[in-house]
Amino acid sequence: MKLSYLMKESIVPWDRRIMPDLDPGIDPEITSIHSKAQEVKPGGLFIAIKGFADDGHNYIDKAIENKAAAIIVQNSSENYPGTIRVKNTRKAMASIADRFFGCPTEKINLIGIVGTNGKTTTAWLIESILKTAGYNVGVIGTINIKYNGQIFDTPVTTPESIDLQKIFADMVKASVTHVIMEVSSHAIDLHRVDYCRFNIGIFTNFTQDHLDYHKTMDAYWKCKKTFFTKILNSKALQSSPTAVINIDNKKGKMLAGLLEKKNITTLKIGINKDADLFCNNITDDITGLNASLMISNNKANIISQLTGSFNLENILCAAGAAHSVGVSIDNIKAGIENCKNIPGRLERIENNIDRFIFVDYAHTPDALDSILKVLRLRAKSKLIVIFGCGGDRDRSKRNIMGKIAYKYGDIIIITSDNPRTENPEKIIDDILENIDTDNNEKQLIVEIDRKKALEKGIALSEPSDIIIAAGKGHETYQILKTGKIDFDDRIVLREAVK
């Protein structure tokens, strides 16, 4: 594939005048594209990306040693032979990757899910609905990447653009018709999803998270909003996308109004009748949800093993997306009811000691508040909460989450999450700061060792108690200062109840 073809888009301007060593007549054949210099192959194109921990521009010599056919740089003062300078190498990489892999999102129905919480559950619900309707479905998300019975691990919610476009191309080859993708705020800000042609964009909610990266809530919100106002609404990429917006969330209601003013097709979902798609006759208990789903004057009575109002919002988001791609209400109902235990999302740990034991990925204040509120209402006896906060992440949410746990729990066990390079004791100090512990009916325990904390939660429980281990959910590891170790809350809890 010729370099000139890969560089066609105006978003990646290139100027041969700053490349005195490159013959204007040269247009190399590019056989592979890379953002890691050590992976460059002869004939490959190396794109130097400035990362958080390192800078690809420091490894240009390695790319040349590996016989790169050309090099894309940003703000590099050195003029290597075959070098092209662009304003933003991440933007360039997204455009180049799209073209190199044959513009794969032109050949699939792409559904993007944006929001602080609920993305994974919504993705699994949509997958279940679309499979029920007979479609060949792929999923790219926090837990894994899956299609055609294959499952692949992924270190991030939304992969880098080169990896992402290759995944899309592989799915196209496998005859996948619909792809559901969780879209993180990092992916939006770092241009990973530029040149992805979305048919549907879903907004689940907006609450505090990732302030270690975005710094302010305004910046975080602006990033989320960009997906709908720029990426989804890019006329060059998709002529008539649909935005499915949860208007029960304040920012969602604001976003729906903004998109309607821009003449973007918008489907509003929510609990109330102001929505285009809504539920009524709702019953909700520890065993799940029952509700009447109303879509375009059609009605379906749904039963789901998922519980809580936040999961009802996820169900509505999924139903809205499925409706927007033409799925019947009968298949929507069946798909919702077919979706059972979602890994790490209020996932039930079966046991023979008469306890209700759950693990959940909740690692934001809103997510923790939502699940604990639901479980508090359902607790016939004690609610035992085991949680911690991740290191090297937003410190401002730690104390907020500590107060939430203390508000709802009868026994609160503060422990480690993924401390990473931070001192676990310092993280716990942040969680406990200014918590009023005068309530003698509550028991607050600190146990840094997460395995011991989980075992202690089981040991302190009695029949009919609810035990929730929050923060890690589906994760099968723990990240310590010394590195990553095998660790799964679910395995520890199952062993503890034997």
- Across-strand partners of 111? 180, 200
Q: For residues 103 and 196, is the Cβ–Cβ distance under 8 A?
A: no
One-letter amino acid at 84 equals: I
With a CB cutoff of 8 Å and minimum separation 6, the contacts of 17 are none
SS3 467: strand
Alpha-carbon distance of 18 to 28, in angstroms, equals 18
The closest of 215, 115, 127, 213 to 176, measured between CA atoms, is 127
How many percent of the chain have pLDDT more than 90? 78
pLDDT tens track for 197-224: 999 999 999 987 777 777 898 999 999 9
Q: For residues 409 and 383, is the Cβ–Cβ distance under 8 A?
A: yes
- Cβ burial, residue 113 (10 Å; 0-12/13-18/19+): buried
Q: Which of 123-132, 152-161, 329-338, 412-421 has the lowest mean pLDDT?
A: 152-161
Q: For residues 248 and 270, is the Cβ–Cβ distance under 8 A?
A: yes
Tokens of 13: 């301007």
In the chain the domains, ranked by start, together with CATH numbers, are 3-100 (3.40.1390.10), 104-338 (3.40.1190.10), 347-496 (3.90.190.20)
The closest of 143, 166, 138 to 154, measured between CA atoms, is 143
Question: What is the reported pLDDT for 21?
Answer: 41
Alpha-carbon distance of 226 to 231, in angstroms, equals 7
Q: How confident is the model at residue 316 (pLDDT cuts 50, 70, 90)?
A: very high
Tokens of 72: 């894309």
pLDDT (average), residues 160-177: 97
pTM above 0.75? yes
pLDDT (average), residues 365-372: 93
Sheet bearing 411-414, strands edge to edge: 347-349, 356-360, 466-470, 383-387, 411-414, 443-446
Measured in whole angstroms, how far is the alpha carbon of residue 372 from the centre of its chain?
Answer: 21
DSSP secondary structure letter of residue 133: T
Tokens of 238: 């998709």
What backbone torsions phi and psi does residue 448 show, to the nearest 5 degrees?
A: -60, -40
Q: For residues 328 and 334, is the Cβ–Cβ distance under 8 A?
A: no
pLDDT (average), residues 106-125: 95
- Across-strand partners of 472? none
Question: What is the reported pLDDT for 14?
Answer: 44
Sheet bearing 242-246, strands edge to edge: 150-152, 145-147, 137-140, 178-182, 109-114, 200-203, 242-246, 265-270, 277-285, 288-295, 298-304
Q: For residues 45 and 33, is the Cβ–Cβ distance under 8 A?
A: yes
Q: For residues 144 and 151, is the Cβ–Cβ distance under 8 A?
A: yes
Measured in whole angstroms, how far is the alpha carbon of residue 244 from the centre of its chain?
Answer: 17
pLDDT tens track for 425-471: 999 999 999 898 877 899 999 999 999 999 999 999 999 999 999 99
The closest of 311, 315, 320 to 284, measured between CA atoms, is 311
- Across-strand partners of 295? 277, 298
- Across-strand partners of 319? none
Q: For residues 311 and 289, is the Cβ–Cβ distance under 8 A?
A: yes
Question: What is the reported pLDDT for 223?
Answer: 92
Query: Regarding beta strands 70-73 and 83-85, do their DSSP bridges make them parallel or antiparallel, or are they unpaired?
Result: parallel
What backbone torsions phi and psi does residue 179 show, to the nearest 5 degrees?
A: -120, 130
pLDDT tens track for 2-58: 888 888 753 344 444 333 344 445 688 999 999 999 999 999 999 999 888 889 999
How many percent of the chain have pLDDT more than 70? 94
Question: What is the reported pLDDT for 16?
Answer: 42
- Count CA within 13 A, CB hemisphere, residue 286: 16
Alpha-carbon distance of 115 to 202, in angstroms, equals 8
The closest of 53, 64, 39, 308 to 162, measured between CA atoms, is 39
